[in-house]
Structure 1
């Protein structure tokens, strides 16, 4: 039965590779979601800072971050330029992203 052992080993190796690929794909999706949420929060804060939208800039960023299911870790304003950092739990780790928005220099 040497063929049975080789087949079982091959199936086990294929399953391990598929599990690894699924984990990488899932991390990629979470990373893109967090980056999109950071972009949206930075744009909302910059809009509020410029007066294009009502509200306090960092409060608007926090609202958008919460709506996207991420936590707002930092929000800084330098004139009309908003810089935000957001994160979300991914398994036992945290995935984070930062974004900056405002008028062109």
Structure 2
């Protein structure tokens, strides 16, 4: 009888760990999807700001974020540099990511 209780308890713990690790893995995947959507949106906005692509920078960013299943929550364009934030739903939670794109900063020769 004691062996049965121990076996059932061990299987219960294994089931809880499996479900927990699966949820953590899914959350990590969603976070990476949000980061990818933010990167794409920032690049699209920077391209539009530089004239390499047509359209209004933040509108282009919103289109790219939406294509990746995310929603644009913030967009700021300063010259040729675009900074965006997106969020992506994950059940009752949200994965949020930000990205910045534009030409590299120019430093004075030293």
TM-score normalised by length of structure 1: 0.98
Q: Cα deviation per residue 1:65-105 (whole Å; 9 max; x = unaligned)?
A: 11001000000001100000000111211110000000000
Alignment of 1:1-105 (within 5 A): 1-105=1-105
Aligned residues: 105
Runs (4 or more) in structure 1 with deviation over 4 Å come to none
TM-score normalised by length of structure 2: 0.94
Structure 1: which 5+ residue stretches go unaligned? none
Structure 2: which 5+ residue stretches go unaligned? 106-110
